[in-house]
């Protein structure tokens, strides 16, 4: 996904969230419910709180309206930023691959590399290796597309550069994730 220049962190999160809501059967109501469930476990008391009166229907409705205001294009352009305390929970509640894409874009903004630490266990070890192989294959394919136009990488491949760099970053992140799993598993 193309990283937009001159957007706030909130706008980056909202852009990915709108893409997720548009492309999936997810809704702002479902997102509100996930946020209401996850946020108290991720943020200490005193941080931003979603409405929680004990009336689930009223709370989901109120929190859905709040989320929809944040997601509104007009709100995002006019300082409609979510509180910083919400960002981590919001990312955790997004669906894949939108969560990973958003996480990557937020890291690229500050020049860091996103690395998801894999869960432990044999099935997760195999998944980490499979992720690395899949990401490597996608990167090789992207580089191949660049090279087929003129036998090398040149200015004519500029339109393919964004996707190719994204694929290569995914390979590096998958490799780092596998390294972390090896470190964790061999303590």
State pLDDT tens for residues 25-54. Answer: 999 999 999 999 999 998 888 878 889 899
The answer to whether position 4 is within a domain reads no
The answer to whether position 173 is within a domain reads yes
Shared domain check, 131 and 92: no
Shared domain check, 100 and 152: no
The answer to whether position 155 is within a domain reads yes
Average pLDDT for residues 14-20, to the nearest whole number? Answer: 95
Shared domain check, 172 and 82: no
Shared domain check, 141 and 70: no
Q: Return d(Cα 182, Cα 97) in angstroms, integer.
A: 24
The answer to whether position 1 is within a domain reads no
User: The domain containing residue 26 runs over which residues?
Assistant: 9-109
The answer to whether position 30 is within a domain reads yes
Structure confidence at residue 164 (pLDDT):
81
Shared domain check, 128 and 86: no
Shared domain check, 45 and 103: yes
Q: Are 5 and 87 in contact (CB under 8 A)?
A: no
Token digits of residue 83:
């509180």
Shared domain check, 127 and 86: no
Among candidate residues 138, 147, 122, the one with its CA nearest the CA of residue 170: 138
Shared domain check, 23 and 103: yes
Shared domain check, 135 and 105: no
User: Which is more confidently placed, 53 or 132?
Assistant: 53
- CB proximity list for 145: less than 8 A, separation 6 or greater: 160, 164
> How many domains does the chain contain in total?
2
Shared domain check, 105 and 13: yes
**Does residue 17 carry a pLDDT above 60?**
yes
The answer to whether position 2 is within a domain reads no
The answer to whether position 174 is within a domain reads yes
Structure confidence at residue 64 (pLDDT):
95
Binning pLDDT at 50, 70 and 90, where does residue 114 land? low
Structure confidence at residue 1 (pLDDT):
47
Q: Return d(Cα 123, Cα 148) in angstroms, integer.
A: 37
């Amino acid at each position: 996904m193309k990283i937009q220049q001159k957007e706030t962190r909130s706008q980056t999160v909202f852009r990915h969230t709108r893409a997720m809501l548009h492309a999936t059967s997810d809704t702002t109501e479902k997102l509100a419910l996930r946020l209401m469930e996850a946020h108290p476990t991720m943020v200490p008391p005193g941080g931003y709180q979603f409405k929680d009166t004990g009336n689930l229907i009223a709370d989901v409705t109120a929190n859905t309206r709040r989320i929809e205001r944040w997601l509104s294009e007009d709100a995002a352009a006019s300082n409609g930023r979510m509180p910083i305390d919400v960002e981590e929970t919001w990312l955790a509640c997004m669906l894949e691959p939108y969560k990973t894409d958003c996480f990557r874009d937020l890291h690229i903004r500050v020049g860091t590399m996103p690395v998801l630490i894999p869960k432990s266990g044999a099935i997760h070890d195999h998944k980490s290796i499979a992720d690395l192989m899949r990401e490597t294959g996608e990167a090789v394919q992207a580089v191949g597309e660049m090279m087929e136009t003129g036998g090398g990488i040149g200015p004519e491949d500029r339109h393919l550069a964004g996707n190719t760099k994204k694929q290569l970053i995914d390979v590096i992140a998958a490799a780092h994730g596998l390294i972390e799993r090896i470190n964790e598993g061999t303590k």
